[in-house]
Amino acid sequence: MSGERLLTINNLSVTFGGLHALRELDFHVDEGEIVSVIGPNGAGKTTFFNMISGMVTPTSGEIIFENQSLIGLDPNQVTARGIARTFQNVRLFANMTILENVMVAQHCRTKQGLWGALFQTSSFKREEEEIREWGEKVLGFFGTRLVGYRLDQPASVLSYANRRRLEIARAMATKPTILLLDEPVAGMNPKESEELTRLIGELRSEWGFTIVMIEHDMGVVRDVSDRVVVLDHGETIAQGSYEEVSTNPDVIEAYLGRPAEEAS
Amino acid sequence: MTDTTVLAPARGVLDQDWRKIVNYGLLLALAEVFIALANMPVGLDDFILIEPILSLGYVSLLWLPLLLGYSIGTEKVLEGVTSHAKGAREVVAGACVGLIGGGGVSGLVLLLDNFDLRDPLVNWSPQLLALLAFDNGVGYGVGVWLAIGGGLGLLGGSMHLIAPLARRVVSTMVLAVVGVAVLETILSDIAEDLFLEWLADWIYFIRGGVSLHGAATVAVVAGAYAVWGSKAVKGAKASYQALEGVERKQANKVSIAVVVAATILLPLVLGKITNELLANVGLFLLLALGLNIVIGLAGILDLGYVAFFAVGGYTTAILTSPNRGDSWPTWIPQVWWVVALMLVIVLAGLTGLFIGAPVIRMRGDYLAIVTLGFGEIIRLLFLSDWLGGFTGGAQGVTNVPGVQVFGLANVRGTDPRAVFYLVAFFCAIAIYVSWRLEKSRIGRAWMAVREDESVAEAMGINTVNVKLLAFVVGAVLASFSGAIFAAKVGSVFPTSFIILVSIVILIVVIVGGMGNIAGVVAGSVVLIGVLGGPKQPGLLQEFSEFKLLIYGALLVWMMLKRPEGLIPNVRRTRELHQDEFLQDAWLKGQIDEGDETGDGGEVAPA
Ligand SMILES: Nc1ncnc2c1ncn2[C@@H]1O[C@H](COP(=O)(O)OP(=O)(O)OP(=O)(O)O)[C@@H](O)[C@H]1O
Ligand SMILES: [Mg+2]
């Protein structure tokens, strides 16, 4: 079901001081795929996202997105190219309203400047209207939870699950091609994560996003992913369908620990 | 609060928190000694508040025991914690605090009498001793100060015993009398302009101070206000807050119209002194509005803001003054102020870019320090030999002409009313700009950058660009103020642009309420209008010697008690009082309880 190759990562390494957070990593995503990245704590999954989104500069290797290199771009340029992300430790603009959170995310898709704002030009007003409409549309994706009177409430009053949803909505608002979701269901109860799993499927089928997702919840991984990539100690130790990966002895070893002499 | 909660019976007189009492007492003693040695009593002794009984000098020592005597007895009323009825215990505590504080002053009297520490402490003077001893000998002074301290503390403590209404009446009366007395110069000036000289003559004593019958009159009026007037004001406020949607918008429109009308009409009836004051308030308001964009909206702590004020002032002066520096060729520009202003905008914008570009990538403290440095660099450049040919070095640029407004008026310092109108015009522009920008794509980006810069960047905002934009907009607004300043004063000197200006503007923004236009206006009126600018006198000219001391004390107090400012911005209040805010939202039923049902979230707001 996958289309053209969207993102290719070749031979990529990231080191922090002496720590090899990622080591000679190869990775790719095709259009319309949902890829899950799993691995034990500290495996380098979040670092992997940070590096794609430009928040961490790789030590070596290349990242090609839609046939252009992303190396050396600032995070905002990467987002403008069409890769948006959420954060593992929810990082909303807590004192801005829910609507403002998704409005501000459209910054790189809009262009009105000083002039329009000061003279309230018709194009300014039109753009403001469009920003608001798109904002309400992405919020509406999660049903009635984030709209209505909620629009004008600060993000800080939201429940944990709703904050996670707002994070996704904010990333959607940037009109990306690829969505990077860092542990989207962490902290949700089974019912909520089941619902979100369905929504992630809709993100692809109805909104046309390609999705790379970090997730610890194997149920979710099994239900939505086309492909699973397993990281351990910054290296890809396995990839393939959920069934292939979940029976792979290396993966089981990575999760259950390894013999003592190898660890030292 | 006290009406609704059931109070536990009052605690016993000896059931005191002695440690707290001693702490408060020592704090009071220290503060009193500090005030005395800062020369407030002697320096302000000539300023008679109520003829013949009270001078401002004594008041500077008397208000604190009263206040602390009261506040030792206050306790936070918390949900779920029993609070006790007030009784003799609070009175005793207040008296003890006051006694210890009075003891501090008595101790100072003894020390003054026995040692000469004039060398490090310049205000260690016989005058101080005489004043503190009431010209009556050391023993008398020591005794009286103990009595005064204890008495005032007791009085403060006993404020807990009277009904809240009575407390309000008493405090309003006291504040009104002191206020009317302190503001004598300006109030009699205004009264004169409004043909109310007879009223001023009734209230004020000829040689300064409020007469006894004047004080009585003011007290009665203030008391009456406290009983009836404040209720009406509160009622009006409540009914305004109850308004919604269209009606509220209309109410807002009406109040804006009233403010605009007052701004236009009031200066016509006010005298020169008042208008001069208003003009100064306006100049600093313009600066503060600009800084508010930089720091309040975009969150960039710029401590070198005075640089742009200087660029505006110097550019205007050099371009419009007939004086010719050594470096000029035979030709002198001497252009019309408005033409100069165009160049001022360009130069200020460029300076903003020039200073902003290298520092904008830094964060927080680093940025603050570097901008502080740049602020000084710009001033030193104007002072330097290198630019001295244009800027006149330490001699500055003089003979700056006023602003010719189409032959209608020549706006200059001798006509403060015209200056005020000019400043008000530019303030209106600044307010419009802040208001429109805040509610735009750029304003939202600024907010996001202020909240979390790296997330803002990850969400597609070019943080460098939007921060630079804030810097440049702020710079241009400050340069307007500089341009008007040059025309008003008629000259510019490097000393007009010292670091203190940056700091004062910053304090105005912080005290007023960062990120809120009304707050910034309130801050400028209160600080610049009442206390005065770095060099500009305020209403309280007598305090000019202690201006910085008061600025500092006020800032510390605000940071402790009300960090969001006088008229706060909603968002900043949320930021600073996150816990209270969330608790509040929870009580109102607005907090999202999560949705176990999986379809929740539509709980209606209370
Ligand atoms: N900015 C940084 N500086 C130094 N070390 C870092 C930095 N970011 C991550 N690391 C280290 O890199 C390693 C990988 O961290 P990362 O956050 O990517 O793990 P993770 O796979 O996301 O783990 P988790 O499942 O707990 O989220 C860890 O050892 C971490 O301490
Ligand atoms: Mg992680």
Distance, in Å, from the CA atom of B189 to the CA atom of B197, rounded to the nearest integer, reads 9
Closest to A213 in 3D by CA, of B43, B222, A222, A195: A222
The confidence score (pLDDT) of residue A135 equals 95
- Structural domain contains residue B96: yes
Q: What is the pLDDT of residues A145-179, one digit of tens each?
A: 888 888 888 998 898 899 999 999 999 999 999 99
The answer to whether B600 contacts chain A (CB < 8 Å) is: yes
Are B440 and A124 within 8 A, CB to CB?
Answer: yes
- Structural domain contains residue B403: yes
| Residue B160, token pair as written in the block | 């807990």
Q: What is the pLDDT of residues B120-136, one digit of tens each?
A: 888 888 888 888 888 88
Rounded average pLDDT over B115-123: 84
pTM equals 0.87
- For chain B, the domain total comes to 2
| Residue A17, token pair as written in the block | 């001081």
Asked if residue B155 and residue B262 are part of one domain, the reply reads no
Chain B, residues 375-434, CB within 8 A of chain A, namely 432-433
CB of A40 within 6 A of ligand 1: the answer is no
Q: What is the pLDDT of residues B456-488, one digit of tens each?
A: 999 999 999 999 999 999 999 999 999 999 999
Q: How far is the CA of B280 from the centre of ligand 1 (A)?
A: 55
Closest to B568 in 3D by CA, of B519, B523, B507, B525: B519
The answer to whether B605 contacts chain A (CB < 8 Å) is: yes
Q: Which of A87, A118, A157 is closest, CB to CB, to B582?
A: A157
Q: Which pLDDT band holds residue B6 (cuts at 50, 70, 90)? A: low
Chain mean pLDDT for chain B: 85
Asked if residue B277 and residue B136 are part of one domain, the reply reads no
Closest Cα to atom 7, ligand 1: which residue? A16
Interface test with B, best of A107, A120, A129, A197 (most B CBs within 10 A): A107
Give the CA dihedral A198, A199, A201, A205, nearest 10 degrees. 130
Strand blocks (E) in A66-157: 68-69, 83-85
Q: Which pLDDT band holds residue B605 (cuts at 50, 70, 90)? A: very low
H helices of B53-87, in order, are 56-71
CB B286 within 8 A of CB B477: yes
Asked if residue B293 and residue B150 are part of one domain, the reply reads no
Reduced to 3 states (helix: H, G, I; strand: E, B; else coil), residue B7 is: coil
Q: How far is the CA of B606 from the centre of ligand 1 (A)?
A: 43
Give backbone dihedrals phi and psi of A204, rounded to 5 degrees, phi first: -80, -50
Q: Domain range spanning residue B279?
A: 258-568
- pLDDT less than 70: residues of chain A: 1-2, 256-264
> CB count, 10 Å around CB of B381?
16
Reduced to 3 states (helix: H, G, I; strand: E, B; else coil), residue A69 is: strand
Of B111, B128, B161, which closes a domain? Answer: B161
Distance, in Å, from the CA atom of A261 to the CA atom of A201, rounded to the nearest integer, reads 42
Closest Cα to atom 19, ligand 1: which residue? A42
- Structural domain contains residue B343: yes
- Structural domain contains residue B243: no
- Chain B residue numbers with beta carbons less than 8 Å from the beta carbon of A112 are 440-441
From residue B8, alpha-carbon distances to B2, B15, B21, B83, B151 in Å are 11, 14, 22, 6, 28
The answer to whether A160 contacts chain B (CB < 8 Å) is: yes
- Chain A residue numbers with beta carbons less than 8 Å from the beta carbon of B349 are none
Distance, in Å, from the CA atom of B491 to the CA atom of B395, rounded to the nearest integer, reads 10
CB-neighbour burial class of residue B530 (10 A; exposed 0-12, middle 13-18, buried 19+):
middle
Neighbours of ion ligand 2 (CB under 5 A): A 45-46, 88
Closest Cα to atom 1, ligand 1: which residue? A16
The confidence score (pLDDT) of residue A9 equals 93
The confidence score (pLDDT) of residue B326 equals 66
Are B451 and A117 within 8 A, CB to CB?
Answer: no
Asked if residue B434 and residue B544 are part of one domain, the reply reads yes
Distance, in Å, from the CA atom of B606 to the CA atom of B590, rounded to the nearest integer, reads 7
- Structural domain contains residue B173: no
Q: What's the distance, CA A205 to chain centroid?
A: 17
- Chain B residue numbers with beta carbons less than 8 Å from the beta carbon of A100 are 444, 447
Q: What is the CA radius of gyration of chain A?
A: 19
> CB count, 10 Å around CB of B45?
16
Residue linked to tokens 């005793």:
B92
Q: How far is the CA of A43 from the centre of ligand 2 (A)?
A: 8
Asked if residue B521 and residue B381 are part of one domain, the reply reads yes
Of B161, B176, B210, which closes a domain? Answer: B161
**ipTM of the predicted structure?**
0.93
- Chains A, B: CB pairs < 8 Å: 147
Sign of the four-CA dihedral B506, B510, B516, B521: negative
Q: Which pLDDT band holds residue B228 (cuts at 50, 70, 90)? A: confident
Query: What DSSP line would sit under B495-514, residue for residue?
Result: GGG-HHHHHHHHHHHHHH-T
Rounded average pLDDT over B230-251: 80
Q: Would the pLDDT of B186 be above 80?
A: no
Asked if residue B359 and residue B487 are part of one domain, the reply reads yes
Which residue would you say has higher pLDDT here, B142 or B602?
Answer: B142
Window from A87-101, B106-120, B527-541 with minimum mean pLDDT? B527-541
Distance, in Å, from the CA atom of A9 to the CA atom of A29, rounded to the nearest integer, reads 9
Strand blocks (E) in B512-556: none
The confidence score (pLDDT) of residue B196 equals 79
Residue linked to tokens 């319309």:
A32
The helix or strand, by DSSP H or E, that contains position B157, with its residue range, turns out to be helix B138-158
> CB count, 10 Å around CB of B594?
16
CB of A23 within 6 A of ligand 1: the answer is no
Are B571 and A118 within 8 A, CB to CB?
Answer: no
Q: Would the pLDDT of B598 be above 70?
A: no
| Residue A2, token pair as written in the block | 């996958």
Distance, in Å, from the CA atom of B65 to the CA atom of B156, rounded to the nearest integer, reads 8
Rounded average pLDDT over B506-534: 90
The answer to whether B603 contacts chain A (CB < 8 Å) is: no
CB B574 within 8 A of CB A93: no
Strand partners, A14: A22
CB of A43 within 6 A of ligand 1: the answer is yes
- Structural domain contains residue B216: no
Q: Would the pLDDT of B305 be above 70?
A: yes
Q: What is the pLDDT of residues B350-391, one digit of tens each?
A: 999 999 999 988 887 899 999 999 999 999 999 988 887 778
- Structural domain contains residue B530: yes
The answer to whether B580 contacts chain A (CB < 8 Å) is: no
The answer to whether A105 contacts chain B (CB < 8 Å) is: yes
CB B378 within 8 A of CB B351: yes
Of B119, B140, B161, which closes a domain? Answer: B161
pLDDT over 90, % of chain B: 38
The answer to whether A132 contacts chain B (CB < 8 Å) is: no
The confidence score (pLDDT) of residue B330 equals 62
Closest to A158 in 3D by CA, of A202, A102, A203: A102
Sign of the four-CA dihedral B579, B581, B587, B593: negative
- For the domain that residue B450 is a member of, what is the CATH number? 1.10.3470
- Structural domain contains residue B87: yes
